[in-house]
Structure 1
Amino acid sequence: MEGKIMLEIAKKIDSGEKVALVTLIGVNGSSPGRSGSIMGVFSDRTTLGTIGGGNLEFQVINSAIEAMEIGDNREFEFTLKAEGSLDMRCGGEVKGYIKVFQRRRKLIIAGGGHLGIDLYKLGKYLNMYTVIIDDREEYVNEKRFPKADELLCGDIGGILKNYSLDEGCYLVIVTRGHLGDKNALKAVVGRNIGYIGMIGSRKKVIESYSDLIDEGVDKEDLLKVYSPVGLDISSGEPAEIALGIMAEILKVKNKGTGKHMREVKVIKL
């Protein structure tokens, strides 16, 4: 059973889901669970394995869900007596640990052109769950993106409109043209997402924003978009542009300053 639990946890992590592993690390006296018992807890409150059931397990599941939302590991300790917080009468005491596994961040690339390929390579190098979206079959296939986790072909705006997004998703809009970029942005702007970046010159960005405002998109939501996309570090080559975009994503993801490390950690001679 333990092997099955660990395999399922690995599967959930690989698919970008939140998951926690609960382990009983100490049991004194009578308890429904044994020391070393483990249980996987998933974001939809389903579980695999058990630490003994009853109110103990119920409370620990609640704690694991909260830990996943916060993103921190935690310990727990309960007295299984009538005067304890669980109103259980086993008579023992249990200690345990909740390990929250950080899920893989999801890099969604709207556009399978040259820049899309370079972004995909960087995303795989950083162990991100990669999604490629394009409306051309020849630009979104296994030959072009052999290790992509998802390949979606069709209307880009329509796909993004129906795609599940959250704070763990990072979207880069690099479609084949101005209209495709604008439609993709319209499908996601204002939604709960970790990062939205759109390629384009300042003139193009201003025109796109103006059009979207006329179509009812909130101006404040547009101002949260990173466009023109990326940090100012490239010579204009696709690979360097992609690196600048990924650097910006990491800056957002890790809440970094973007400063030179020698400015952050000053060396005194």
Structure 2
Amino acid sequence: MDFYNLLKQIDKNKENLVITIISGENTGSKVILSDGEILYKGGNENDWDEIIKYTPENKKSQALTINDKKVYFEFLRQSYKLIVCGAGHISMAVIKMCKLLDLPVTVIDDRLTFTNNALAAGADEVICQPFEQALDGIKGDSGTFFVIVTRGHRYDQECLEKIIHKENAYIGMIGSRLRVKKVLDSLEEKGIPREKLDKVYTPIGLKIGAETPAEIAVSIMAEIIEVKNKKAGFGAYSNELINYILNEENDIPKALVTIVSRKGSSPRDVGTKMIVSKDGTMKGTIGGGCVEADIRQTALSCLDNRECRLVKVDMTGQEAEDDGMVCGGIIEIFVEPVI
């Protein structure tokens, strides 16, 4: 269980990667890397330095064939956080929704009364400084969502000019189309490439006809959830899954099932996981239907034989259609006993 204990404790603010040999010699061997440093080695594989050289530059989870082995590179999700510029009525509603979503939120405003209101509403951190000064102290990363909802377009522009150069998962800015155009045109005149500015979500939020501050906050958070969940190809070792595996009161042997590759349409994406226990119960889903039922039996067999197995599921043919597999893609699923 050392592997799962380490995953539970790993610093999610770092770039974390799990590499697993899924076929060939030493199938089931694993390493965990955190910002390039090896934290864990499991199994009999000795040539990890060579395998690590093939780490995908696009940082998307995927299976690659390396010499006589098939290797699954799984990039783990970083922790997410929200940075809100402005502490008005919309921000108060955004803060409350972040609490429901267990999403840490920092609020920036240069007015003490407003930052105090944000703290009272549940913000994890407030920064009462001029926007530019506060943003100088925020690094940003691939898990940072920036929301610009200040009290005027001058402040919006100040914030966006600072944020646009930071690594981020999302930048959203409030404003009418005319106000937004003025801000973007002004920043383009200052030398910021238009293609970079075009990546800003503005006017912010999904188009649901929102009018009140609460409704606008709903549209903003819905858009953020959509963007977050579309960050395809990231591993799904959720805290819930890890805690389920480590639960000492539930010591029934278990197998972990992971979708490691996908071509065409399939119910779930690469990295999706499910646990099958020796008593036949399942935790999570890889899409349901006949595929899941068949993989359940495979997992039980793997537990009986104490072996890992890579399974290819073809949902493109007539037989698959007759079995109700309507997606029409091909997926590979890796099944491994939890050790």
TM normalised by structure 2 equals 0.54
Matched, 1:144 2:120: yes
Question: Matches of 2:224 and 2:49 in 1, distance apart?
Answer: 38
Corresponding residue for residue 263 of structure 2: none
Corresponding residue for residue 38 of structure 2: 47
Residue aligned with 1:109, SS:
strand
Q: Aligned match of 1:186 in 161, 170, 188?
A: 161
Residue aligned with 1:66, SS:
coil
**1:158·1:187 contact (CA, 8 Å) conserved in 2?**
no
Matched, 1:118 2:109: no
Question: Matches of 2:179 and 2:23 in 1, distance apart?
Answer: 61
Residues 92-111 of structure 1: pairs in structure 2 closer than 5 A = 99-111=74-86
Question: Matches of 1:111 and 1:252 in 2, distance apart?
Answer: 22
Residue aligned with 1:140, SS:
helix
Corresponding residue for residue 57 of structure 1: 48
Question: Matches of 2:195 and 2:217 in 1, distance apart?
Answer: 26
* Matching residue's letter, 2:15: K
Gaps of 5+ in 1: 80-93, 257-269
Question: Matches of 2:76 and 2:169 in 1, distance apart?
Answer: 18
Residue aligned with 2:120, SS:
coil
Question: Matches of 2:145 and 2:115 in 1, distance apart?
Answer: 19
Matched, 1:70 2:46: no
* Matching residue's letter, 2:77: Q
* Matching residue's letter, 1:46: E
* Matching residue's letter, 1:40: I
1:115 to partner: Cα distance: 1.1
Question: Matches of 1:246 and 1:138 in 2, distance apart?
Answer: 24
Distance 1:231-1:5 versus aligned 2 partners, 3 A rule: closer
Question: Matches of 1:213 and 1:97 in 2, distance apart?
Answer: 42
Residue aligned with 1:50, SS:
strand
Residue aligned with 1:144, SS:
helix
Kindly provide the CA deviation profile for residues 198-235 of structure 1, in whole angstroms up to 9, marking residues without a partner as x: 11223322333344344444444333322222223144
1:26 to partner: Cα distance: 9.2
Q: Aligned match of 1:154 in 94, 111, 129?
A: 129
RMSD: 3.8
Question: Matches of 2:110 and 2:183 in 1, distance apart?
Answer: 20
Matched, 1:173 2:173: no
Corresponding residue for residue 202 of structure 2: 227
Residue aligned with 2:200, SS:
coil
TM normalised by structure 1 equals 0.65
1:99 to partner: Cα distance: 4.5
Kindly provide the CA deviation profile for residues 88-137 of structure 1, in whole angstroms up to 9, marking residues without a partner as x: xxxxxx99765443223332211222211222333343343433222234
Matched, 1:248 2:237: no
Question: Matches of 1:55 and 1:140 in 2, distance apart?
Answer: 54
Q: Aligned match of 1:128 in 89, 92, 103?
A: 103
Residue aligned with 1:170, SS:
strand
Kindly provide the CA deviation profile for residues 129-171 of structure 1, in whole angstroms up to 9, marking residues without a partner as x: 43322223443358425362x4433222233345323443321
* Matching residue's letter, 1:105: Y
